[in-house]
Structure 1
Amino acid sequence: MIASLWFCLRILIAWVLALVALGIVWAHVFGDPGTVFALLVIGSLVMAAVNTASHLHRVKLVAGRLDHDSLASRQRRQIELPLDAGQAFALVESVITGLPRVTDVESSPGSLQLRAKLGRVDPYNMSPPSRWNPRSWLTVKRNQVSATVTPGQGTSSVTLLFEPEAGAWVDLLMADEGSNHENAEAVSRALSRRVAEQRRDERESAARTEAEKELSVARLNLLHAQVEPHFLYNTLANAQVLTRTDPERADRMLGHLIQYLRSSLPGIDQSVSTLGQELERVQAYLEILRIRMGARLALQIDVPESLHDVALPSMALQTLVENAIKHGLEPKPGGGTIWLLARESDGLVNLTVADDGQGFGGTSSGTGIGLKNLRERLRLTCGPEAAFALVSNFPSGAAATLTLPRANTVPPVVPRLPELPHAS
């Protein structure tokens, strides 16, 4: 209430002082003011009173209160945005240029400043003031807004100024009927809404990413679970047969199986392994096969130790070796050789498992569940840079190559189980 009375009193005093000064000038120029001047004074005071009352009513409707800040014709807003300076400036520019009746936009992204003009209208009929309205002869036709973005640490501070397109002197005589307060609140609301929408989109995107990640992990674990039992079932079945025909070889096979499990069980819940761990596991696996195949199986390994920390799907190398033996060497009379080769080039590691077995002319085309699972696990584990290729080897056999990103590494240290007694 006090703010409203002071606002009215201030404008009326300013008008009285202005009319007194005008009367003095009138007396020096035209002589005694007389009736015409008195009518001018009365009309001016009535116009000032009407403008002041309209301003109070409009501000009360817009702001819901009457105080010093809401009654002022010049409004200032300081808004913190959780964006970097470039994003904050683009957001502010988008909001201001989206205001109704905006004209003469001056945007300077380099200096993070923006200015614009906003045409005024009669708030009750949404049209420019009539030229026959005496108040429109003195009123300011446009407002203006200026914005400055100040960069911060991960945030930006936006300073917004809303004011009449005139000097400060006009505030003593005319009010803006709450138009600048309305513009200030509109921009503040729009910025808050835009930031809230952006944060909501980010949360939804993060939720989708997390859901996709969980789905990928679940699929990866399922695929991994399909691979691991395959070898164990075959080995135990062979050991069962050997216990009846050759107990000594069965004993050695079970011993190597224990060594294999010792290297595998600490990482049984891990979907990612290292090339070094996979080599250790494959060597234990091949020792088991040597018992069954004897001299029909030869192995040559050429893998630099510097590549032992390269990450790849768990059991991936063994899957390739199993395919080479099952579809290449076992059906071939006299067996053959398996080569394990690894080379690094242009940030990628090429890991090849080759054999000189029957190749694609045998009973399998290399499109079984093992290789299908391997392709899917490779995509989920190592990303889009990883690849798998299966081609014919020369002069016979097949060659399977995994292409892995060199930067994709995991710690090479794996905990060990306590030594187990050798089976007897």
Structure 2
Amino acid sequence: MGEPIVLPHEDPAFVADPFPFYRRLREGGPVRRVVTVRGMEAWLVTRYEDAREAFTDPRLTSDLRGATDPRLLEQMPSAERTSAMRSMIRLDPPDHTRLRRLVSKAFTVRRVAELEPRVQAITDRLLDAIIPAGRADLIEDFALPLPVTVISELLGVPLTDRDRFQEWTNVLLTQRPDRPDPEATDWAWQQMWSYLEGLLAAKRRDPADDLLGALITARDRDQRLDEGELVAMAFLLLVAGYITTVNLIGNGIVALLAHPGQLKLLRDDPGLLPNAVEEFLRYDGPVNPGILRIAAEDLEIGGVAVPRGATVIIATAVADRDPAEFPEADRLDVARTAGAHLAFGHGIHYCLGAPLARLEGRIAIGTALRRLDDLALAVPYEELPWQVGGLRGLEHLPVTFTPA
């Protein structure tokens, strides 16, 4: 297979638009050896059919401890390393099955659906604050505070603690993989872990009708979540349900601003919003290039031999642009039926928070389009600052609109 291909994260053109590079990778083969932004070698699964199958292949494990490259764990801050091992996303059956079943009893479709009026109210309040100025940073002023407020309320974080909660969350989620700061990340993880332990203890003493309260009482016959699993689950719901939603909202809005015909189509027909959210997830999803697995044994993916212990990236961002699955895959089309995308994964690890992300994305983007007249970028598209590696989202989204 030759030398691995270095993903060019230092190239501003790649950071702004990695998809032409990804297209060449996909056209070159179903699995490509690459060097990631952290300098580690990985096997990138590039095609839709292979990626979908990889998500359900039991030979690809979510447990990172089997990786041949020890740096995969060593580069994680120590606090994250410890808690990640209790997290549902890093476990395989039967442990994953037990945790998923317990959490599903608390994090129900009904609980998410009941949030719709509150999500709308938070969205309107945030827009009320920026509309008079006629300009805003739609990440800092809108896309970021919306999901952190929603997840805080869902978990039952007291209003008086939310500033600290958001401070720790921002430290955790704004770390650049090419410029890691393990001390700051370790501090934030430890603060958050200690805080959640205390919050869970308080909710045991004084039960509340929120998600943490429901997780505490969730039972499956004689099984319950233990203390470490509860804290790890709260972490997972926070992190997975926060930054991915920020990126969904930001990426969706900027995609529309870069495609004025699609923006007009969606404004003229708001009934397309559910379709549009799926298309934003497919076209420029919040995780990039994809989701990590470890080869638990020697195997083949798409006819390519992958050795035991190899780090495998199921490249959802690349697979969701595969023209074999999505005709004219590089074209944004808000009327497209794109529900088969892999942005939320597939199989037993399919994102538990997907209904909440969809709800927030639909309300946030739809309300912004309805209320922000003459919405336009305040800087050239080429100057927008994108996150580097692992996730795909904007650090800032400066816009203008007609003040009211």
- TM-score if structure 1 supplies the norm length? 0.21
Which one has the largest radius of gyration?
A: 1
- TM-score if structure 2 supplies the norm length? 0.22
**Structure with a larger share of its residues in strand:** 1
Higher relative contact order (Cα pairs below 8 Å, separated by 6+ residues)? 2
